[in-house]
Amino acid sequence: MRGRFQDQGGLFSYISPEKRVPANHPLRKIRALVREVLKELSHSLGKLYASEGRPSVPPEQLFCALLLQVFYGIRSERQLMEQLDYNLLYRWFVGLSPDDPVWVPTTFTKNRERLQSGEVFAKFMSKLLNHPQVKPLLSDEHFSVDGTLIEAWASQKSFRPKDGSGEDDRTNFHGQRRKNDTHVSTSDPESRLYRKAAGREAKLSYMGHAIMENRHGLAGAGKVTKANGTAERRASETLLKALSKAVGHRITAGEDKAYDTSDHVAALRAAKVTPHVAKNNGTTKTGKERKSAIDGRTTRHAGYACRRPAAR
C-alpha cells in the first residue's frame, strides 16, 4: 500500500536529539571529552563576566560551536549560526534544544573575542592535551612543524597606497607595483600580500603554524602570524622552545627545506631541539650551489632518515 505524502509532517516531536545521534558517531566521544575540560575551566570562564546584567552566550556553548566550525570547515559565524539553526546534530553537540533560538552572528562574534582576549583558548588546549584520555596518545619526543597560508577575508581592491593616492579608480590595479611597504588593506590592515611560491598568485594572507606529534599525528600547539619570509622559522623557534621547556628534555623536530637556514638550525639546537630539517642544497637561479645548515651531527643518526618521510 502506498504511503500518504504529508509535506510538513507532525507538529510535535517526542524524540530527543540525543536519541537521533548514532551511538558510534565520533562527535559523541568528543562531546563528552569537551564537557569534562570545560567543567575544569568553569572558574576561569567566570572571571570574564560580570556578576550582574543581561546573560551572555554561555561560554561552554560558544566553545562547542567554535569546535563545530573547525571540524566541518564552516567559513563564517553567519554560516555557523545558519547551520546551527536547522542541524539537529549541531544543536545536540552545542547543548541547544530543538526549540532554543540561535544567537545573532554579531553577538556571537563579540562573545568569541572576549574569550580570545582572556586567553581561554590556550587554557582549553592545555587542559585538553593533558587530559588522561588524550595525554597517552601524544609523543613527548618526536614532532613535526609546518606552516600554511591562511587567506584573509579582504579583496585585492582593498589593498590601497598608504599615502592615499590612487583613490579615484579602485578597480584597475593591473600593472601597478604593489608592496607591503607602500600599500595596506583598508578592510584588514594586518594582512600582508604574500605568495606561496614563485610563479603563484600573491594574496592577502596570514600564516598559520602547527606542531604535530609523530605518534598519532595530533596537533600539539599552533600559532597565527603575519605573512612574511621569516615567519615560519620564527614561529617554529618560539613553539618548539616552549615545547622543549615543557617536556623537560631534548626533542626532535622534522621540518621541510624551507627551514634550512643556519640561524634557524642554531636557534633550535640552543633550545634543546634536534633539527631534522630536510637539506636544501639545490642550485640557485644564478647557478650557485646552496650549502645546507644540516651537517653530519644530525644526518649520521638513523633517526634523521626515518623522520624525513614523516615530516613530508
Of residues 34 and 176, the one with the higher pLDDT is 34
Query: What band does 306 get if pLDDT is binned at 50, 70 and 90?
Result: confident
CA distance 274 to 215: 17
pLDDT in tens, 96-155: 998 899 998 888 888 888 887 778 888 888 888 888 888 888 888 999 999 999 999 888
Asked whether the predicted pLDDT for residue 283 surpasses 50, the reply is yes
Q: What confidence score (pLDDT) does residue 38 get?
A: 92
Check whether 210 has a pLDDT greater than 90: yes
Per-residue model confidence (pLDDT) at position 166: 63
| pLDDT for the residue numbered 115 | 81
3-state secondary structure 278-303: CCCCCECCCCCECCCCCCHHHHCCHH
Q: Who wins on pLDDT, 308 or 180?
A: 180
Question: Residue with C-alpha cell 568528543?
Answer: 30
Tell me the mean pLDDT in the region 156-184. 75
Q: Is the pLDDT of residue 198 over 90?
A: no
Which pLDDT belongs to residue 171?
A: 57
CB atoms < 10 A from the CB of 167, how many? Answer: 8
Task: Please give the pLDDT value at position 272.
Answer: 94
What confidence score (pLDDT) does residue 172 get? 59
Residue with cell 565520533: 26
Instruction: Provide the pLDDT for residue 162.
Output: 84
In this predicted structure, the answer to whether residue 16 has a pLDDT above a threshold of 70 is: yes
For residue 209, is pLDDT > 70? yes
**What pairs with residue 160 in β-bridges?**
184
Q: Give the contacts of 285 (CB within 8 A, at least 6 positions apart).
A: none
Cα four-point dihedral sign 48, 52, 57, 61:
positive
Residues 6+ apart with CB under 8 A from 221: 125, 210, 211, 239, 242, 243
Domains of the chain: 17-129 (no CATH), 139-162+179-311 (3.30.420)
Question: What is the pLDDT, as a whole number, of residue 15?
Answer: 80
What's the rounded mean pLDDT across residues 213-236? 91
Q: Distance between CA atoms of 213 and 211, rounded to whole angstroms? A: 7
Does 10 have pLDDT greater than 70? no
> Measured between alpha carbons, how far is 271 from 250 in angstroms, rounded to an integer?
8
Distances (CA, A) of 64 to 38, 124, 159: 10, 12, 35
In angstroms, rounded to a whole number, what is the distance separating the alpha carbons of residues 192 and 181? 10
**What is the pLDDT confidence band of residue 309, given thresholds at 50, 70 and 90?**
very low
55-100 tens-digit pLDDT: 888 889 999 999 999 899 998 889 999 999 999 999 999 999 988 9
pLDDT score of 308 more than 60:
no
Cell numbers placing 65? 560551536
Q: Which of 24, 18, 114, 20 is nearest to 66 (CA)?
A: 114
Query: Rounded to whole angstroms, how far apart are CA atoms 153 and 117?
Result: 21
Q: What is the pLDDT of residues 233-274, one digit of tens each?
A: 999 999 999 999 989 999 999 999 999 999 999 999 999 999
What is the arithmetic mean of pLDDT over 13-39?
Answer: 90
Q: Which residues contact 40 (CB under 8 A, 6 or more apart)?
A: 127
- 293 vs 14 pLDDT, higher one: 293
The predicted model gives 26-48 an average pLDDT of 91
User: What predicted TM-score, i.e. pTM, was given to this entire model?
Assistant: 0.77
Total number of residues shown for the chain: 312
How many other C-beta atoms can be found within 10 angstroms of the C-beta atom of residue 80? 21
Give the DSSP per-residue string, 30-99: HHHHHHHHHHHTHHHHHTTS-SSSS----HHHHHHHHHHHHHTT---HHHHHHHHHH-HHHHHHHT--TT
What percent of the chain has pLDDT above 90? 41
> How far apart, in whole angstroms, are the C-alpha atoms of residue 34 and residue 23?
17
- pLDDT for 249: 92
User: Grid coordinates representing 62?
Assistant: 560558544
Q: What is the mean pLDDT of the chain?
A: 86
